[in-house]
Structure 1
Amino acid sequence: MSLYVRQSGSTTAPTIVFLHGSGVSGWMWNEQIKVLQNDYQCLAIDLPGSGESYQTEWISLADTADQIAAIIRQSTANGKAHVVGLSLGGYTGLCLLEKYPTVVESLIVSGVSTRPFANLRRWQITLGIMQRLMKWDVFINMQAKMLHIPAEAADLYKRDNKRMSNESFNRMFNEVLRFGLPNFKDEQTIPLLAVAGDSENAMIKEGLKDFINHKQNTTAALVPNAHHGWNGEHPQLFTAMVEAWINGKPLPADLVLVKAI
């Protein structure tokens, strides 16, 4: 089955592709799309195993990048798109940039680690427990509160978590736990913005310097008073950041730029 795509805006306008995090789907970008669809074609893609694409099993980041590249080529006027990815969507965006640099005009990633997680076995045990708990309403509601899921999206969040298969969950997170930055070559000149909320995991925040040191034409920034899913926490700031970045304008002053070592 093909991936589900929510299309908004003019098909002849510049395109922004939105890639969501785990446990959610394209609806997480509603606040951004509501504004940006006036000037851009917005494509919110439900990744394999998620949302309306739940019947398409998650295989790998590389397989998902293959499918997204095909969507961009088929759905845009010039065969290219600005790509915005948060969490799982950020990892997917980086894989897309590595495999298919010709379809990426610019890339924004948020909440992404740059190195494999330490204590891998401990993380696998934790995720195994979470996998079982994520089918229970009480735990889902706790997670929604912790991740600052808007109240109006609570039912969608619950639906998306219950729909995801155990196989997709395991493949998805085992790959993320082992993720390391790709060896960028042809992608060096494509603009990349890496951001993280200042209340995120320390490993994610520390990894911002890795982006700058690893790839040319890269900017990194911390977002004050923000958690992992900060596009819902601070929707206006996130939207302003996206619009500034893809137009080559200064980023919002609220963002704290990170310098290379």
Structure 2
Amino acid sequence: MHVASTHDGAGPSVLFLHGGNVAGWMWDDQVRALPDHHSLVPDLPGFGASAALDWTSIADVVDQLAVIVADRADGGRAHVVGLSMGAVVGTVLTARHPEVVRSALLTGALLNGITGLARRLNTVQLRVWDQHWYWAAQARLFRLPPESVDQFVSNGLSIRVENMRAVVAEVYGGLPASDLAALAGADVPVLGLAGERDLRPVREALRAYPNSANVTTRLVPRMHHAWNAEDPALFNEVLRDWLTRGAVNRHLIPA
């Protein structure tokens, strides 16, 4: 698995886990905003510089990530930051390997998966996965800044549809109850977020987080799904408060 390492030796490590339509480059603004933190930014199997690799399973991917963090992170532990698919992966990593996780900021995680008509409609996208117009439309839907659109489209076209079928089947199926239960017992601070204007299944997934002293859930006002690109200044402020003080940013609202 390709992993970019930035600001080596600068301070505590942060493991950034990207969403399912992109790759590690989606975190460039956040890495630049944290020169006092060591950043580990993988391209997960099937994506970006790891596009030639097969997606196996979330369980296998988190096992690989746990080894990477143990070997390369400051003190063998890292703060985990994930969005969308990356937030699902980050949830399982925290639940199964809490020994390598300092804290977790997870936004847009479909912990319950998707069922019924919504799932069927979302699966239709795989039929046009190799079409340029589809990726251009996705860029508009995610409200990506103009300077990111070409990279987003190019990256999307490089993702093999068979890998994405495997990802979709697993993510849309939802997480096992055992992983969510383990999250409560992980003794790791967790901040679960969703954009206030994100799709309903994403917002409702906040209810799936365990009712535990180590887990906090909030909505991000006015934001949609990919809000690290929609409002990087706000994302960076929320992120810095969490990483440096373990604090829930004042702009966040009750879920």
- TM bracket (short chain): over 0.9
> d(CA) in 1 for partners of 2:88 and 2:109?
7
Contact 2:62 2:93 in 1 (8 A): yes
Q: TM-score, normalised by structure 2?
A: 0.93
C-alpha distance after superposition, 1:109-167 (max 9, x if no partner): 10012323221xx4554344311323111121111011122222222211221111122
Q: TM-score, normalised by structure 1?
A: 0.91
> d(CA) in 2 for partners of 1:186 and 1:199?
27
Residue 235 of structure 2 corresponds to which residue in structure 1?
Answer: 238
> How do 1:80-229 residues align onto structure 2 when only pairs under 5 Å count?
80-119=77-116, 122-123=117-118, 125-180=120-175, 181=177, 182=179, 183-184=181-182, 187-213=185-211, 215-229=212-226
Contact 2:51 2:159 in 1 (8 A): yes
> How do 1:43-54 residues align onto structure 2 when only pairs under 5 Å count?
43-54=40-51
Letter in 2 for 1:26: G
Residues 1:73 and 2:70 aligned together: yes
Residue 24 of structure 1 corresponds to which residue in structure 2?
Answer: 22
Letter in 2 for 1:32: Q
Letter in 2 for 1:49: G
> d(CA) in 2 for partners of 1:103 and 1:51?
24
Which secondary structure does the structure 1 equivalent of 2:80 belong to? strand
> d(CA) in 2 for partners of 1:171 and 1:69?
21
> d(CA) in 2 for partners of 1:246 and 1:155?
31
Which secondary structure does the structure 2 equivalent of 1:247 belong to? helix
More off after superposition, 132-141 vs 101-110:
132-141
C-alpha distance after superposition, 1:165-201 (max 9, x if no partner): 1221011011111113522168432100000001111
Which secondary structure does the structure 2 equivalent of 1:226 belong to? coil
Aligned residues: 252
More off after superposition, 243-252 vs 170-179:
243-252
Letter in 1 for 2:243: I
Identity of aligned residues (%): 30
> d(CA) in 1 for partners of 2:182 and 2:20?
25
Contact 1:33 1:42 in 2 (8 A): yes
> d(CA) in 2 for partners of 1:245 and 1:83?
11
> d(CA) in 2 for partners of 1:257 and 1:78?
34
Q: CA RMSD in A?
A: 1.7
Structure 1 residue 90, shift from structure 2 partner: 0.3
Which consecutive residues of structure 2, in runs of 5 or more, have no partner in the other structure? none
Letter in 2 for 1:97: T
C-alpha distance after superposition, 1:28-63 (max 9, x if no partner): 111111111x10001111111101110111111111
Letter in 2 for 1:219: T
Contact 1:140 1:158 in 2 (8 A): yes
